Structure 1
Amino acid sequence: MQVCLFLIGAPRMQPLLDGAALQRAAEGIEGLSRLIVHEPLEQRVDPRIAASSDAPSTVLQWYFDDLAPLEAACAEDGAIHRALQAAAHHALSRQSFAQQVMAVRTHKRTARLDAERCTYLVAYEGIAENYNAWLSHYLEHHPPLMLQLPALRELEIYTRLDSRSGLPFAQANAMQRNKVVFDDASALATALASPVRDAMRRDFHALPPFTGATPHFAMRSNYGNLGTH
C-alpha cells in the first residue's frame, strides 16, 4: 500500500512556493513516486457547500511506495525540507504547513498524468465514537457512490498512519481524507451538481456518529513530471 505525506499550507497566505521549482527539486528524492501541488480555485464549483474562507494556500502530496523511504525523506534537514527551501518564496516557519502521513487507498487512478487537473479535497478532522464502525461504513458504502460521479478520473481515500518526521511543521491529525479528480473545474462542477452527489450526501448523513469539521476544498492540481515516474 502506498503512503502519502500531506503538507497543508496555512490559509490566507501569499503563495509559499514556486510549484515548478519544487517539482524540479523533488526529482532526486529517493523513493518519491509522485508529487502533486494543489492550489485553491478562485471560482465556486459546489452548489451544495459554500466555498471555505480558510482554504489552504497550497496542499502538497508526496507519494512513496513504502513508509521507510518516506520517513528518510522527512528527516530533519532531509530531502523534502531541502526541496521546500529551494522552492520557497520566503523563509518557512512551523506555521507554514501542517503535516500528516496517511495510507493511500486507491479506488481509481488514470494511467495518463496530465500536467494539470482539478481536485476536490475533503478532510474528516473530528473523532468518531467508534472509529472502526465509522471507517467500515465509509469504505463499504461511500466509494461505490463516488465512482459513479460523471467524468471522474481519480478517487483516493487516505487513512491515519503513525510515522516519524523531522520536518519543522505542526502536526495534523485528520481521521480520514479523500479526493476526487477531474479534468477541469467545469467537469468538477458538473459532477458536484449531479444526482450522484445527492446519494453521497444521504450516505454522509448515515455515517456512524462523529464530531468535528469536514472541510471541502476545490483545488487546481499540477502533477509535474518526476523524471521517469
Structure 2
Amino acid sequence: MGKARSPIDPSWLAAVSRDIPELTRFVIHLPAESRDSDPLSKPHASSPCCALQWYFDDLGLLETTLQTNGAMQRIVDHATHAAEVDLTFAQQVMAVRPFATPSPGKPGHRAERCTYLVSYEGEAEDFDAWLTHYLTHHPPLMAQLPGIRELEIYTRLDFRSGLTIPRATAMQRNKVVFDDPEALAAALASPIRAHMKEDFNAFPPYSGPTPHFPMRSIYGNLNPI
C-alpha cells in the first residue's frame, strides 16, 4: 500500500490518542496512493493530508477532549508548530451508524486498511426524506461491494467545543473500508457501482459537493474484543 507523507507524525497521533480517557478506538487516515478507479464519481480536490477519527460511547466524554486545554487542542498546537506547511483544521462530531458486512475480518487482524471517505457537504431539501431513503436503500448496496470490510454512515450532532478551529458542517459522511488500494479499485470497478449510481439518481433533492477520498487508514483498537 502506498504511503503518502503526512505533515503530522501518525505515530505521535497514535500515542496521544492512546492516552485519552474513555476513548474506545481511533483511526488515522492519510492519503492513499491509488489510481482513480471510480468511473461514476466526478473528480474532486486533493485528499486532506490527515483525518483523525475518535470514537466515544458518550458525547460528554468526547466534549471534554475538545475543550481549551484538552487533547485535541494539544494536537492542533503541536501540528501548527511542527508542520513545515500551513495547515487548515476543521472539527465535527457525528453519530456513528455501523452496518454489517459479509466478511469484516477479525478485530485487530490488520493494523492498516484502505478507506473510501465520502462527504455530503451540501443540504437536502427534506433531510428526513433524504436520510430515510439513504439508510433504507444505499447500505444494502454498499454491503455488496466485493471485499468490503467495514461500512459506517455518520450524521451530524450539536456539540460543545473550546477549540478555535472552524467547525465542519457536512450533512452526512460515509466510510467503506477494504484491505488495500487494489481491493478498493476492484470494488469501485464492480457492477455494484452502477446499481449504487441508479440509487443515487433516485435520492430526494440534494444540492452540494460530494467529495470522495481514498485514504490509508491506521487503526488503534483500545478495547480489543
Q: TM-score range by the shorter chain?
A: 0.7 to 0.9
In 1, distance between residues paired with 2:156 and 2:181?
A: 29
Which aligned pairs between 1:164-175 and structure 2 lie closer than 5 A? 164-175=160-171
Is 1:112 the equivalent of 2:118?
no
Distance 1:47 1:38, change over 3 A: same
Is 1:136 the equivalent of 2:132?
yes
> For residue 39 of structure 1, what is the aligned residue in structure 2?
30
3-state SS, counterpart of residue 116 of structure 2: strand
In 2, distance between residues paired with 1:182 and 1:155?
A: 10
In 1, distance between residues paired with 2:91 and 2:130?
A: 23
In 2, distance between residues paired with 1:94 and 1:81?
A: 17
Q: Deviations over 1:156-211 (max 9, x none)?
A: 00001111111231111011000100000000000001111110111011000010
More strand by share: 1
TM-score, L = length of structure 2: 0.88
TM-score, L = length of structure 1: 0.86
> For residue 122 of structure 2, what is the aligned residue in structure 1?
126
Contact (CA 8 Å) 2:98, 2:151: kept in 1 or not?
A: yes
Question: Which region of structure 1 is more displaced relative to structure 2, 19-28 or 105-114?
Answer: 105-114
Is 1:76 the equivalent of 2:68?
yes
Residue 214 of structure 1: how far off its partner (Å): 0.4
Is 1:52 the equivalent of 2:44?
yes
Distance 1:93 1:171, change over 3 A: farther
> For residue 18 of structure 2, what is the aligned residue in structure 1?
27
Question: Which region of structure 1 is more displaced relative to structure 2, 162-171 or 117-126?
Answer: 162-171
- List structure 1 segments (4+ residues) > 6 angstroms apart after TM superposition: 91-94
Residue 15 of structure 2 aligns with an amino acid whose one-letter code is R
> For residue 3 of structure 1, what is the aligned residue in structure 2?
none
In 2, distance between residues paired with 1:19 and 1:133?
A: 39
Distance 1:26 1:79, change over 3 A: same
Residue 28 of structure 2 aligns with an amino acid whose one-letter code is V
In 1, distance between residues paired with 2:44 and 2:68?
A: 33
Residue 26 of structure 1: how far off its partner (Å): 1.6
Distance 1:187 1:228, change over 3 A: closer
Matched-pair identity in %:
54
Question: Which region of structure 1 is more displaced relative to structure 2, 106-115 or 79-88?
Answer: 79-88
Contact (CA 8 Å) 1:22, 1:87: kept in 2 or not?
A: no
In 2, distance between residues paired with 1:77 and 1:140?
A: 41
1:65 to 57, 65, 74: 57
Distance 1:206 1:50, change over 3 A: closer
In 2, distance between residues paired with 1:152 and 1:91?
A: 34
Contact (CA 8 Å) 2:133, 2:204: kept in 1 or not?
A: yes
Cα RMSD of the aligned pairs, angstroms, is 2.3
In 2, distance between residues paired with 1:116 and 1:140?
A: 30
Which sections of structure 1, spanning at least 5 residues, go unmatched?
1-13
Q: How many residues align?
A: 216
In 2, distance between residues paired with 1:78 and 1:195?
A: 46
Residue 55 of structure 1: how far off its partner (Å): 1.7
Q: Deviations over 1:113-166 (max 9, x none)?
A: 211100000000111111100010000000000011111100000001111111
Contact (CA 8 Å) 2:8, 2:83: kept in 1 or not?
A: no
Residue 23 of structure 1 aligns with an amino acid whose one-letter code is A
